[in-house]
Chain A
């Protein structure tokens, strides 16, 4: 089907608010990854799912960050009590199976004021 989609594309929020970022992977893709990308840098790994199971969350910066993929398809990355340093581009990627090529979504640009 269509490529990876993410919503919203842009999110402006005030410090201290919670935000939820959504990722809709390519249909049938088992693996789903969340990354954060600063301007002019490569993606920074946050967390990874196979089906609904969160396999690796070692890249989440702190306990304000969490992610879920309850039905093995759509995933949500939640940031609680946002801080200005959380401002970044958040990207989602999916792959057909673990270790296969990852296909990236357009990203959500988060700005915390």
Chain B
């Protein structure tokens, strides 16, 4: 059974600091996604990572993928309050030709001024 684990599940940090959210998955997968969800809002796609060593950056967020370690990281640089949200990673289920995504539990990130 494919499992996706995120850690930490909750993170409170100060503005200006750097931090990393981790996403581990239990079997090989073709794609890994990062989504953001603001309280009471929908899920917004941030990144899709397709291959080993893939790195994508958008503003203060950078995502990377190590398929050998089955690990993705979401790195936050010089955090600002606007990045406060819950961040989810999700992977394709390789046993499922219907591209069903398996989701992590989410990391709730609070950035204090």
Residues of chain A having any CB pair with chain B under 8 Å? 31, 40-45, 48, 55-56, 59, 91, 93, 98-99, 101-107
Question: Which of the residues B33, B90, B96, B106 comes within 8 Å of A40, measured between beta carbons?
Answer: B106
Question: Which of the residues A31, A48, A101, A104 comes within 8 Å of B42, measured between beta carbons?
Answer: A104
Question: Which of the residues B30, B42, B48 comes within 8 Å of A106, measured between beta carbons?
Answer: B42
Question: Which of the residues B45, B48, B105 comes within 8 Å of A41, measured between beta carbons?
Answer: B105
Q: What are 24 pairs between A and B in contact, CB < 8 Å?
A: A40-B106, A40-B108, A42-B88, A42-B90, A42-B103, A48-B98, A48-B99, A48-B100, A55-B98, A56-B96, A56-B100, A91-B42, A93-B43, A98-B98, A98-B99, A99-B30, A99-B92, A99-B99, A101-B33, A101-B48, A102-B33, A102-B45, A104-B44, A106-B42
Q: How far is the CA of A91 from the CA of B43 in the complex (A)?
A: 9
Q: How far is the CA of A67 from the CA of B53 in the complex (A)?
A: 39
Contact B42 A45 (CB under 8 A): no
Q: How far is the CA of A102 from the CA of B105 in the complex (A)?
A: 18
Question: Which of the residues B31, B41, B106 comes within 8 Å of A99, measured between beta carbons?
Answer: B31
Using Cβ atoms and an 8 Å threshold, which residues of chain B touch A44? Answer: 103
Question: Which of the residues A56, A93, A101 comes within 8 Å of B98, measured between beta carbons?
Answer: A56
Q: How far is the CA of A48 from the CA of B108 in the complex (A)?
A: 28
Contact B106 A41 (CB under 8 A): yes
B111 within 8 A of partner (CB):
no
Beyond A43-B101, A99-B30, A101-B45, 18 extra complex contacts between A and B, CB < 8 Å: A40-B106, A41-B106, A42-B90, A44-B103, A45-B101, A48-B98, A48-B100, A55-B98, A91-B42, A93-B43, A98-B98, A101-B48, A102-B33, A102-B101, A103-B45, A104-B42, A104-B44, A106-B41
Using Cβ atoms and an 8 Å threshold, which residues of chain A touch B42? Answer: 91, 104-107
Q: Which chain B residue lies CB-closest to A95?
A: B99
CB distance from B94 to the nearest CB of A (A): 11
Using Cβ atoms and an 8 Å threshold, which residues of chain B touch A55? Answer: 98
